[in-house]
Amino acid sequence: MEQLSDTKQRILDVSLKLFSQNGYSATSVREIARNVGVRESAIYNHFRGKDDIIETLFNIYGWGKAQRYIDKLKDDNKLLDDPKNYFKSIILDGILDIVCNEEGNKFKKVVMMEMFCTDTARNIVNKELFSKAREYLSEIFNEMMSAGVIKRCNPFTLSNQFLAPLMFINLEYLLNEKKGVNYFKKEIEAHIDFFWQTVSL
């Protein structure tokens, strides 16, 4: 991932804060510039506009983060050598970071608030979350089937079965984060155990 300049990072940080407080639609580029402490034209030196800002945030905190994690998994042979323990020892930490990441969850709140109001947020959810997430996971599950470590079934359906409870857990965290990370770690562990009992040979 590219190294961002201090000004560009500051624009993203302030935008995320304002989007999560006021909503994406209600936040103007002028307001972002004022809170960053730069002229409005300076925002356009780094971004094409507000849509570009939210798409960049999604790449950092949303599916982009998950995609980088899945790409790493696909290149790790340990995934096929001992998949159950790999899921529990390696994948668990990555999922936990996605579920319990404070900045990432600010962004998720923005998308959830806006996805029924703006085309930008709706397209992000449809394309990046539902399409790409399932596509990448399907590739991983196909590899596992070919290696003979899980039952043969529709990989797209399998991806849904793996992702849906995690989305539910993430939503619960957004609503009840006071329960603490350990509570959600146990929830994710229980999901991985149940999932693996269902699909393993």
Q: Which stretch of 6-20, 88-102, 146-160 has the lowest confidence by average pLDDT?
A: 88-102
So what's the pLDDT on residue 76? 63
What is the distance between the alpha carbons of residues 146 and 143, in angstroms, rounded to a whole number?
5
Residue pair 64/96 in contact by the 8 Å Cβ criterion: no
**What phi-psi label fits residue 23: left (phi over 0), alpha (psi between -120 and 50 degrees) or beta?**
left
Domain 1-50 CATH assignment equals 2.30.30.60: no
* CATH code for residues 62-199: 1.10.357
The pLDDT tens digits for 73-90 are 666 667 777 777 777 776
Q: Where along the chain do the CATH 1.10.357 domains lie? A: 62-199
What is the distance between the alpha carbons of residues 115 and 122, in angstroms, rounded to a whole number?
4
Q: Where along the chain do the CATH 1.10.10.60 domains lie? A: 1-50
181-199 and 92-100 helices, crossing angle to 10°: 130
So what's the pLDDT on residue 69? 64
Tokens found for residue 161? 């079965």
What is the distance between the alpha carbons of residues 96 and 153, in angstroms, rounded to a whole number?
27
Which of 7-11, 79-83, 131-135 reaches the highest mean pLDDT? 7-11
So what's the pLDDT on residue 40? 92
Global model pTM greater than 0.85: no
Q: For tokens 């103007």, what's the residue?
A: 28
Say whether pLDDT at 176 is over 70. yes
Q: Which stretch of 71-75, 103-107, 139-143 has the lowest confidence by average pLDDT?
A: 71-75
Residue pair 22/57 in contact by the 8 Å Cβ criterion: no
